[in-house]
Chains A and B, each alone.
Chain A
Amino acid sequence: ILNVEQSPQSLHVQEGDSTNFTCSFPSSNFYALHWYRWETAKSPEALFVMTLNGDEKKKGRISATLNTKEGYSYLYIKGSQPEDSATYLCAFMVNRDDKIIFGKGTRLHILP
């Protein structure tokens, strides 16, 4: 059974502080790793798709790194803002033409 683990489950961060959280996945048969942001009452929104070991992607204040050999990815948020409050999901893909398995997410609360 493929397992995608995210930690922490929940996180409270002061506005303006930077933060990061982790996604762990099986390191064998890696194909792609996705990050999504899911705000309450909206549909999940794609942030990044990463496929290569050592990949680093950036979108504004949010960035992500990927280590496929050890099976983890970090998501970083610099200078947290209230609009960053959401659940951040990572999802793992084993092979081409295969299903995408999601972790349970990290729920981020930004404190004013």
Chain B
Amino acid sequence: GAGVSQSPSNKVTEKGKDVELRCDPISGHTALYWYRQSLGQGLEFLIYFQGNSAPDKSGLPSDRFSAERTGGSVSTLTIQRTQQEDSAVYLCASSFSSTGNTIYFGEGSWLTVV
């Protein structure tokens, strides 16, 4: 597609439920990043992929968070047993490689846990 596409754009879920957030990067981009921004906070790094592998998962807040990327393209961020503190906007970004090139962001998935 023309840009990074994320779905759903908005999600309201009950505490304790699992959610899946999807990211479709720009075609040909090998690097893919997940960030989140909670209310009043900056952009928090979660995980990044180079191809299908994730060299750095250090930003995942807990073992309830996991992410995968298949076919060097689409990525899914899964949050199990959601908690209210998981409420945030989850941003995905991609770039041709993680070599200092510009990264392009999607419009985010706004998650509210009630």
Contact = CB atoms under 8 A, between A and B. Distances in A.
A71 interface: no
Contacts of B103: 34, 46, 100
B105 A43 contact: yes
Interface magnitude class on chain B: 20 to 34
Interface in B42-82: 42-43, 45, 48, 50, 55-56, 59
Given A98-B56, A102-B45, A103-B42, A43 B100 contact: no
A42 interface: yes
Contacts of A108: none
B76 to A, nearest CB: 19
Interface residues of A, number: 24
A59 interface: no
12 contacts: A31-B100, A34-B103, A44-B105, A46-B104, A51-B100, A96-B98, A97-B99, A98-B56, A99-B33, A100-B98, A102-B45, A105-B43
Interface of A: 31-32, 34, 36, 42-46, 49, 51, 89, 91, 93, 96-105
Given A46-B104, A96-B100, 9 more contacts: A43-B4, A43-B91, A43-B105, A44-B43, A44-B105, A96-B98, A100-B48, A102-B35, A104-B43
